[in-house]
């Protein structure tokens, strides 16, 4: 492991091993930890999700593409946001600004892509 990235001889194995560890190990564990807490409203859940769980993704997302794990991440995040509720809004609706009826959640896919491209552009 090098700076949080599991390096292997094969690029595909590097992607799989690193993201499996980050998504399944770190992010899902944090989300499951916060699901055990009493979070009184959606805004508090959103803050816990973005500050404590999704923030762990951004370092690795600057180096490795995330696309294969998006569905799994959105499902885990949705379980935290909608804990105990049968009715749910679509993830895309939650990304809308509060004035438009959403929560202002970060677009995981767009941010991960932007971070990856930003590093590519900054190469000298």
Evaluate whether residue 61 is within a structural domain.
Answer: yes
Domain of 32, in residue numbers: 11-121
Residue 54 has pLDDT above 90, yes or no: yes
Distance of CA 81 to the CA centre of its chain: 13
pLDDT at residue 123, as a whole number: 65
Evaluate whether residue 2 is within a structural domain.
Answer: no
Evaluate whether residue 25 is within a structural domain.
Answer: yes
Residue 12 has pLDDT above 70, yes or no: yes
Q: Read off the pLDDT of residues 74-114 as tens digits, 9 standing for 90 and up.
A: 999 999 999 877 788 888 888 999 899 888 999 999 999 99
Helix (H, G, I), strand (E, B) or coil at 2: strand
Q: Using CA atoms, how far apart are residues 46 and 39, in angstroms rounded to an integer?
A: 10
Evaluate whether residue 39 is within a structural domain.
Answer: yes
Q: Tell me the chain's radius of gyration from C-alpha atoms.
A: 15
Region of poorest pLDDT, from 54-58, 97-101, 119-123: 119-123
Categorize the per-residue pLDDT at 49 as very low, low, confident or very high, splitting at 50, 70 and 90. very high
Number of domains, the chain: 1
Q: Does the reported pTM lie above 0.75? A: yes
Evaluate whether residue 62 is within a structural domain.
Answer: yes
Evaluate whether residue 4 is within a structural domain.
Answer: no
Helix (H, G, I), strand (E, B) or coil at 5: strand
CA nearest 65: which of 31, 25, 115, 21? Answer: 115
Evaluate whether residue 56 is within a structural domain.
Answer: yes
Average pLDDT, the chain: 89
Evaluate whether residue 17 is within a structural domain.
Answer: yes
- Give the DSSP H/E element, type plus range, for residue 35: helix 28-35
């Amino acid at each position: 492991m090098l700076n949080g990235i599991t390096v292997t001889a094969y690029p595909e194995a590097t992607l799989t091993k690193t993201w499996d560890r980050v998504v399944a190990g770190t992010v899902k564990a944090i989300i499951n930890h916060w699901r055990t807490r009493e979070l009184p409203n959606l805004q508090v859940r959103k803050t816990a999700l973005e500050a404590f769980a999704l923030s762990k993704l951004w370092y690795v997302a600057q180096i490795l593409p995330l696309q294969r794990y998006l569905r799994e991440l959105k499902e885990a995040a949705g379980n935290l946001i909608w804990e105990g509720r049968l009715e749910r809004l679509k993830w895309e609706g939650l990304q809308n600004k509060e004035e438009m009826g959403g929560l202002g959640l970060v677009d995981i896919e767009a941010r991960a892509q932007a971070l990856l491209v930003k590093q590519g552009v900054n190469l000298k």
